[in-house]
């Protein structure tokens, strides 16, 4: 078995897959619909610059929504380790890219996540992966924040989870009210982070520049 195949098998067994794989049947169906949409807005899908656009958009859409096919809890379980550590673990400034379900326009920003272990820790790369899995679906920022919190809490069973997200929404910048500099902040907490002292420490740490 080649190294590439071994890598693919490992990825599939652990709840995620290569992001450059596409379902050809779905791509063809979505592309056909986008060709019709181009016609409806007054474009000519047969002109040179647009000949491959429906297929490109279909592939882009499948990539941007590939989180539906992934199991975030399984990703966490694939890298859980017993460890006698009970202080706050923070992964901050995680890049977030998602699509608003109301207008299918992007929103993007950063997520700051902490948990307090209760007998188990998780590989640090798995926290951003959980963010990506839920972000790569049609979303609203409020639900995305809660889904990340709940997945970590339900899977790791920590003493507490904290999630803060700061995002810009293109549905506010490109259309509608057209406010270019507005940022939406959402938060969700469980366990020890409901206590003001613990929550304040988390908020202070994610705001600090420790470099």
Of 62, 147, 169, 192, which is the active-site residue?
A: 169
Active site residue 141: yes
Active site residue 167: no
Active site residue 112: no
Of 43, 55, 74, 103, which is the active-site residue?
A: 103
Of 139, 141, 153, 192, which is the active-site residue?
A: 141
Strand-pair category, 106-116 with 160-169: antiparallel
Sign of the torsion angle spanned by Cα atoms 60, 68, 136, 19: negative
Collapsing DSSP to helix, strand or coil, 181 comes out as coil
Active site residue 7: no
Of 6, 7, 12, 102, which is the active-site residue?
A: 102
Of 12, 13, 36, 101, which is the active-site residue?
A: 101
Active site residue 151: no
User: Which of 166, 138, 156, 134 shows the shortest CA–CA distance to 147?
Assistant: 134
Of 100, 139, 147, 167, which is the active-site residue?
A: 100
Q: Which residue has the tokens 């279909």?
A: 58
Of 74, 166, 171, 201, which is the active-site residue?
A: 171
CB 143 within 8 A of CB 184: no
Would you please indicate which residues are annotated as catalytic (active-site) residues?
A: 100-103, 141, 169, 171
């Amino acid at each position: 078995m080649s190294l590439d195949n071994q890598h693919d098998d490992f990825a599939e067994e652990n709840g995620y897959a290569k992001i450059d794989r596409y379902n050809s049947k779905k791509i063809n169906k979505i592309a056909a619909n986008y060709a019709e949409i181009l016609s409806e807005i007054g474009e000519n899908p047969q002109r040179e610059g647009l000949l491959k656009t429906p297929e490109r958009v279909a592939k882009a859409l499948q990539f941007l929504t590939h989180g539906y096919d992934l199991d975030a809890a399984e990703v966490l379980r694939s890298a859980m380790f017993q460890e006698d550590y009970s202080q706050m673990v923070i992964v901050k400034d995680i890049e977030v890219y998602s699509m608003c379900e109301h207008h299918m326009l992007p929103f993007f920003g950063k997520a700051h996540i902490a948990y307090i272990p209760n007998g188990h820790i998780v590989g640090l790369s798995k926290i951003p992966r959980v963010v990506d899995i839920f972000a790569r679906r049609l979303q609203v920022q409020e639900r995305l924040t809660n889904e990340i919190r709940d997945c970590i809490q339900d899977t790791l069973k920590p003493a507490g989870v904290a999630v803060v997200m700061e995002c810009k929404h293109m549905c506010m910048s490109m259309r509608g009210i057209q406010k270019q500099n507005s940022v939406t902040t959402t938060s969700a907490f469980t366990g020890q982070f409901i206590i003001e002292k613990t929550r304040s420490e988390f908020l202070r740490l994610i705001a600090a520049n420790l470099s």
